[in-house]
Amino acid sequence: MAEPNHELIDTLKQLIIQRLKLTDMTPVMIETDAPLFGEGLGLDSIDALELVLGLEKEFGVIIPDAEVGKKVFQSVRTIAQYILDQQETT
């Protein structure tokens, strides 16, 4: 199983900033392993929907339901790993 590289992680951080209009943030400010929801980045369900759309558009990966979404959106690293896993299976 491939490990996410820095390039993919940086791309995801940029996507999060752009899709969620976090104009006062930079990719460096988003911790790769920090939680995206709750006490980490503090995202909500509307943010999650926006990220689902962004991942589908940018990477062609689909988050089929909320159960998968909960696992995928734990951190930037888990999103990156999901993208790699999906690309390997297609």
Distance in angstroms (rounded) separating the CA atoms of residues 48 and 36: 9
CATH C-level class of 6-89: mainly alpha
The whole-number pLDDT of residue 12 equals: 97
| Residues 61-79 pLDDT 10s | 999 998 999 999 999 999 9
One-letter amino acid at 38 equals G
- The secondary structure element, H or E, covering residue 32 is none
For the chain, what are the domain ranges?
6-89
Beta-carbon contacts of 55 under 8 Å, excluding residues fewer than 6 positions away, are 15, 61, 63, 79, 83
DSSP letters for 36-62: SBTTSS-B-HHHHHHHHHHHHHHH---
The whole-number pLDDT of residue 38 equals: 85
| Residues 15-53 pLDDT 10s | 999 999 999 999 999 999 999 998 888 999 899 999 999
